[in-house]
Homo-oligomer: A and B are copies of this chain.
Amino acid sequence: MASSLRKALVYGGSGALGRGVLKQFSEQGWLTLSVDVASVPKESTQYVTSSCVIDKNAGSLEHFEKSSRAVEKFLKTHNAKTLDCVVHTAGGFVMDNHHENQEQFLEHMEQMYRINGLSACVATCLASRFLPETKTSKSNKVCILTGSYNAFHHWKAGVPVQIMMSYAISKAMLHQLVQCTDKCTTQNNAYDIMCILPKTIDTAANRKAMPDADISKWTPVPEIAKICYQMATHAKNYSNGGFYEIDTTNNVTSCRLVNVPDDMPKKAPL
């Protein structure tokens, strides 16, 4: 008998954000599959139905094929044909610029490309393969990608993309991927794609890296996980191809559609 439980793939399930998403979906009764380059830490394995570790140094095609086999096994075990949600939580951050250190920038670029850009491409490929139902119309299936507030709002005063170039460039890949997919899924009616744009996430790594920061502006992982869960379960309330800024002010987190750069500075034609 097919399981009536809904099924989520978390691509990047071993990181701080991924573990939070696994916990949220699992506690709400979903079956969860984690794919990551590292194992899910012990304290989070209770939230993982199945998991798959992929080789950090492998190419994207190998990542896709190994992940596909893991999804197929996961679905077969639960007598199901499709997933209900794919959440991309893989990612990394570095600081650099090509003015001061070209070699460092290029090295970082190759890393960020794989960690941020290519991981989103693979996750979206898995969404395209395993979300759509056969011969049915759209049924609130959702793919959620983790973008970047800073890279998306690069044109805003005070957004320091010039000190995080390879990061911003790799996240621009992800944002364009959402924009291409938006056009495509609207045509095919296959699944919705949404992009979350967090600022600083409250993780152990960030607390260690920035011990003196004002963490009342940082977003707790469970808050982001709840937003992902809302998107997965109430897709109708969200916009296909939508970019959702996640802001935390005075410890209160909100989520806002921000596709429209109303305050983009206008360059006067010469």
Q: Which of A224-270 contact B (CB under 8 A)?
A: 237-239, 241-242, 256-257, 259-261, 264, 266-267, 269-270
The verdict on A208 contacting chain B, using a C-beta distance below 8 Å, is: no
Q: Convert A50-65 into 0s and 1s, putting 1 for each residue whose CB lies closer than 8 angstroms to a CB of B.
A: 0000000001110010
Given A60-B106, A105-B125, A106-B121, decide whether A187 and B162 contact each other with a Cβ distance below 8 A.
Answer: yes
The residue on B at minimum CB distance from A126 is B102
The verdict on A17 contacting chain B, using a C-beta distance below 8 Å, is: no
Structural contact, B172 and A175, CB atoms closer than 8 A: yes
Structural contact, A98 and B181, CB atoms closer than 8 A: yes
Report the minimum CB–CB distance from A180 to chain B (whole Å).
5
The verdict on A107 contacting chain B, using a C-beta distance below 8 Å, is: yes
Structural contact, B188 and A177, CB atoms closer than 8 A: no
Structural contact, B270 and A257, CB atoms closer than 8 A: yes
Q: Which of A112-132 contact B (CB under 8 A)?
A: 113, 117-118, 121-122, 124-126, 128-129
The verdict on A110 contacting chain B, using a C-beta distance below 8 Å, is: yes
Report the minimum CB–CB distance from A56 to chain B (whole Å).
16
The verdict on A179 contacting chain B, using a C-beta distance below 8 Å, is: yes
Structural contact, B183 and A64, CB atoms closer than 8 A: no
Interface size, A (range): 35 or more
Structural contact, B190 and A110, CB atoms closer than 8 A: no
Q: Which of A65-115 contact B (CB under 8 A)?
A: 97-99, 102-103, 105-107, 109-110, 113
Structural contact, B121 and A238, CB atoms closer than 8 A: no
Report how far A60 CA is from B168 CA in the complex, Å: 18
Contacts of A190 in B (CB 8 A): 99
Structural contact, B183 and A98, CB atoms closer than 8 A: no
Contacts of A177 in B (CB 8 A): 165, 169
The residue on B at minimum CB distance from A118 is B109
Q: Which among A165, A168, A256, A264 has the greatest number of chain B C-beta atoms within 10 A?
A: A165
Structural contact, A184 and B162, CB atoms closer than 8 A: yes
The verdict on A154 contacting chain B, using a C-beta distance below 8 Å, is: yes
Given A154-B179, A183-B162, decide whether A124 and B98 contact each other with a Cβ distance below 8 A.
Answer: yes
18 inter-chain pairs at a CB distance below 8 angstroms, sorted by A residue, are A61-B107, A64-B106, A102-B128, A102-B129, A113-B113, A113-B117, A113-B118, A154-B180, A161-B183, A162-B180, A165-B181, A169-B173, A172-B172, A239-B270, A241-B267, A242-B267, A259-B266, A260-B266
Q: 4 closest Cβ contacts across the A-B interface?
A: A172-B176, A102-B125, A162-B184, A162-B183
